[in-house]
Every structure is written in C-alpha cells, then in structure tokens.
Amino acid sequence: MKAKIAVLAGDGVGREVVPEAVKVLKAVAERHGHAFDFVSADVGGQAIDKIGVPLPQETLTLAKQSDAVLLGAVGGPKWEGLDYSLRPERALLGLREALGLYANLRPAKLYMALADASTLKKEVIEGIDILVVRELIGGIYFGKPKGIEKIGGVERGVNTEVYTTDEIKRIAKVAFEAARKRRRKVTSVDKANVLESSELWRRVVTELQKGYPDVELNHMYVDNCAMQLVRNPKQFDVLLCNNMFGDILSDEAAMLTGSIGMLPSASIGAQVGLYEPIHGSAPDIAGKGVANPIATIASAAMLLSYSFQLEKEGAAIETAIVRTLDLGYRTKDIHSAGTRLVGTGEMTDAIIRNLG
C-alpha cells in the first residue's frame, strides 16, 4: 500500500527515538512491498524556538492530511516558564483535539524476558496484559472555566472536570469492544464517592454494559486502583479511565512491564490516528543515545495495525521486539546482570535484524 505518515519528533528523546521507529517502518515497508511517504514537521518546544508557536498551522495541516501521525514527545525545562497557552504540551493537546482523538489505547504487557526488569516481584507481574483505555479530549484537561485569575487581590488557578453522557458513552464503547477481543473484563476507574462527574461516569458505563452481557464490568475508585495495580495487577484486563486518571495509571502500569520506555500508545477516534510512546521528552537522559526506543517502535507497530490494517506487518515488529529481548539486548532502563547493554541505535538495529 501507499501511505503518508506525518513524523513529529518534537523534543528531547523524541528526537532520538522517532528516527529509529521510522527506520523500522522503512525496513518493514521494504520487506512487505509498501510505499510509505514520511513527512517531518515541527512540534513542541522545538517549534516554539523555530517558529514561535508549539503547534504551527503547517504542522496541523500536515497531520490532518496524512494517513497517520507518529509523534515522539514534547516539552522540557527550557520552556517551563512560558505561559500555558504557549507551552510545548499545548501542541499535543491541540493535535489530539483537532484530530478528534478521544480514545487513547495504552497496552501494558510484560515481555517474559523482562520479568526481572521490573521493580516488582516476578510472581506479581508474570503474565500481565492490561489495556488502559484513556479518554483523551475531555475531562479536567479541557473543561471550562479554566485559567489563573485574580479576584479581590487573591490569585487562583482553576480547572474544571466535565464529562457529558455522550463523551462517556463513546469511550466506554471502545473499552467494551476491546474487552470482547481480550479477556472480556472491564474495570471502570472513577472517584464516584466524591465527584459528580464520576457519578455520571459510573451510571453511564453501567447502563452501556447492558449491551455487552458477555463482558464483565466492575467499578473501582482510582485510589484503590492505584494500589491494586501494584498489589495484584493480574486482576485487570481493560482499565477504562478518564483523561487524568488514565494519564497517571498508565505511567504506573508501565513500571509493571519494566520501564516507561516500553509502553506504546494509539490515539484514535476520527480519521487520522496518532501514535506515540507514553513517556515524555526525558530531559535527564536526552542527547545521550541511551533512551529506550521500544515504546516508539511498538507505537509504529500499532500504527500499521490500527491505521493501515497491516496486522501482519504490525505483528512482525512485535515478534522482532520479543526476539531481540530474548537475545538479551537491553537499554539502560531495562538492563540487568547477564544481559547486553546497548544504546538507542543498537537496540533498533537488532530489532530490524530480527524482523525476519
């Protein structure tokens, strides 16, 4: 097939891991006879430095006109002092909103070779396979009123958690449909004991489940869920979360798999899907060539399966990752005694060699 992929590397380690994932996609295209056209554009802090805004119009237009978007990460200490409307992170929120990407899928699966890489005991994490379904364009990230205001000399920062019935329904539907292809269990995460937005969330999800009698549903308060994720993560199949809870719990779930450098994501909803690792620009390791590229390479695999229906090619990347880990290749974040410590590029080269 022929397809156009927008490549938005962004900041920090995004600039290191995205070119590696593109190398893998090129290798897959060559082996399977596809023609992918990669078009790069500026986003985040790097776009602020060059053009003055985090999400240039040209980048947004490119994203809209592409068949899929591959993104690295945005943000970093350099831009932290800027007004919120001008910060690199706005680019990501802007892209998600403009592309209508209401569903963010974050699979946390333990690769057996990494059973020793997690900070948790092997018997706790062995066999975990969790899908975090995170609502991505609503909730406290987008609710109004918002801002910093001064009333009677007192300054206050305001954000608002809002969800409509339709917003809850459409994300819950994604979770139930996904569960049907997995172990048929949805855990809906909320704070319904305190928040009205969660009370509605719980009511709507409960109602929707009636259309999915084959899928088991349970509700869990977010504080308990954070605890259960490290106590007994094997109890979870699909975790249905609002925007904020999904952000937090997916970073926690990432550590069950060994490292945040392992977790990919797919953001879908309307026509164009966006694929990115769940991690950020990792300023502490950026520029050193040590970042783990697997989260981004696995995101590229999701891109092939979800946006292009190239399941065989996506699976080929997955298999190559498994083989490479089985051979003992490890970046610093997942390194343990007796394995082979490699940098970002070497890890990618090994994955490409193992594409078969």
* Interacting residues toward ligand IPM by CB under 6 A: 75, 89, 92-93, 247, 278, 280
**What is the Cα–Cα distance from 260 to 313, expressed in whole angstroms?**
24
Q: Which 10-49 residues touch ligand NAD, going by CB under 6 A?
A: 13, 17
Min CB(259)–ligand NAD separation in Å? 6
Q: Give how far Cα 2 sits from Cα of 82, 178, 209, 308, 310, Å.
A: 40, 28, 39, 10, 12
- Judged by CB under 6 A, does residue 333 bind ligand NAD? yes
Q: How many residues bind ligand NAD (CB under 6 A)?
A: 23
Of 19-27, 156-164, 169-177, 284-292: span binding ligand NAD (CB under 6 A): 284-292
Q: Are the C-beta atoms of 303 and 5 separated by less than 8 Å?
A: yes
Angle of CA points 140, 145, 146, to nearest 5°: 65
Annotation says 247 is catalytic = yes
Annotation says 214 is catalytic = no
Token pair, residue 344, equals 């970002």
Q: Using CB under 6 A, which of 34, 82, 89, 339 touches ligand NAD?
A: 89
- Judged by CB under 5 A, does residue 237 bind Mn ion? no
- Pick 179 or 294: Cβ nearer ligand NAD: 294
**What is the Cα–Cα distance from 127 to 237, expressed in whole angstroms?**
11
76 touches which of ligand IPM, Mn ion, ligand NAD, none (CB within 5 to 8 A by kind)? ligand NAD
Q: Are the C-beta atoms of 99 and 227 separated by less than 8 Å?
A: no
Tell me: is residue 134 an annotated ligand-binding position.
yes
- Pick 89 or 126: Cβ nearer ligand IPM: 89
Angle of CA points 114, 115, 117, to nearest 5°: 60
Q: Are the C-beta atoms of 103 and 276 separated by less than 8 Å?
A: no
**What is the Cα–Cα distance from 216 to 210, expressed in whole angstroms?**
10
- Pick 92 or 178: Cβ nearer ligand NAD: 92
Among residues 222, 304, 296, 301, which one has the least CA distance to residue 259?
A: 296
- Judged by CB under 6 A, does residue 291 bind ligand NAD? yes
- Judged by CB under 5 A, does residue 135 bind Mn ion? no
Annotation says 251 is catalytic = yes
Min CB(10)–ligand NAD separation in Å? 6
- Known binding-site residues for substrate equal 96, 106, 134, 223
- Known binding-site residues for NAD(+) equal 76-89, 280-292
